[in-house]
Amino acid sequence: MKIGYVQTHPVFGAKETNFEQVNGLLKGVKADLLVLPELFSTGYTFVSKTEVQSLSEESDGSIFQFLKEQSQKTGAVLIGGFAEKDVDKIYNSAMIVYKKKNLGIYRKIHLYYKEKEWFSPGDKTPEVFKVNGINIGVMICFDWFFPETIRTLALQEAEIIAHPSNLVLPYCQKAMETRCLVNRVYAITSNRIGREQRGEDDFTFTGGSQITSYTGEILSSSQKNNIGIAVVEIDIEKARDKHLNLYNNIFEDRRPEFYKL
């Protein structure tokens, strides 16, 4: 199957411009699964709750319309991040769309820095979405810092992790090699580039979107400063077999009775 990332440079608050950028990058692209960055249509560095509220949307809003269009165009399952409004709460979420259907939403459970001021933390165990016989787990950016996130997805038989991101620290790409190896899963980390100086904050996003294999091999790595897309072919069967050798099955060998702390 063909999987890919879309590395973008969002303009803060300019949803239509940001949709247009992705639309341009996806011209002529065909794939099975494509991942967009965290908060790709709004930008990241909010300065007030009112601002987050005004840029947030419900699950049938412009994000859904856009992902639906792109899924039909590319033939792929599309996963992208957005500020989700649900009654009186706002979540940092990712939507999973295939053709004309919203297959579900993941709400980020580990909020980074001032996200704690703007968003409510996710309120559910990260779940696995089954599409066309493929098990896709979703986590968002800083979730990577907690090994329990991927483990929870892998134990639910996720074969591939979709990882919309707005990375500002330099550690994730290296860490994903180990995260993927010890869970024998593929991962697509889709990051953004650019700088946002807003309010008291000044973030430079690190680019370097990455597709990592079940052995921790880097299958594709994007540049730090350019937008772009990459699609690679993978054999998903490899992520279904948890044997390291004849003697070690990495899930059967776990000793949860010793992990209680």
Residue 150 engages ligand ACM in binding (rule: CB under 6 A): no
Whether the Cβ atoms of residue 213 and residue 231 lie closer than 8 Å to each other = no
Write the binding mask 160 to 179 for ligand ACM: x where contact by CB under 6 A, - elsewhere.
Answer: ------xxx-----------
Crossing angle of helices 62-74 and 15-25, in 10° steps, is 10
Write the binding mask 70 to 109 for ligand ACM: x where contact by CB under 6 A, - elsewhere.
Answer: ----------------------------------------
Closer to ligand ACM at the Cβ: 68 or 137? 137
Choose, by CB under 6 A, the member of 112, 118, 119, 186 that binds ligand ACM: 112
Q: Which CA distances in Å does 125 have to 69, 128, 137?
A: 29, 10, 11
* CB count in 10 Å sphere of residue 109: 21
Q: Count the residues of the shown chain that bind ligand ACM, applying the rule CB under 6 A.
A: 7
Catalytic residue among 85, 115, 141, 159: 141
212, amino acid identity: T
Active site residue 38: yes
Match 């319309």 to its residue by tokens. Answer: 65
Q: Six-digit token pair at 83?
A: 């500020």
Smallest separation, CB 141 to ligand ACM (Å) = 3
Q: What residues numbered 213-252 form the site for ligand ACM, per CB under 6 A?
A: none
How many Å apart are CA 227 and CA 7, to the nearest integer?
5
**Catalytic residue positions, numbered:** 38, 108, 141
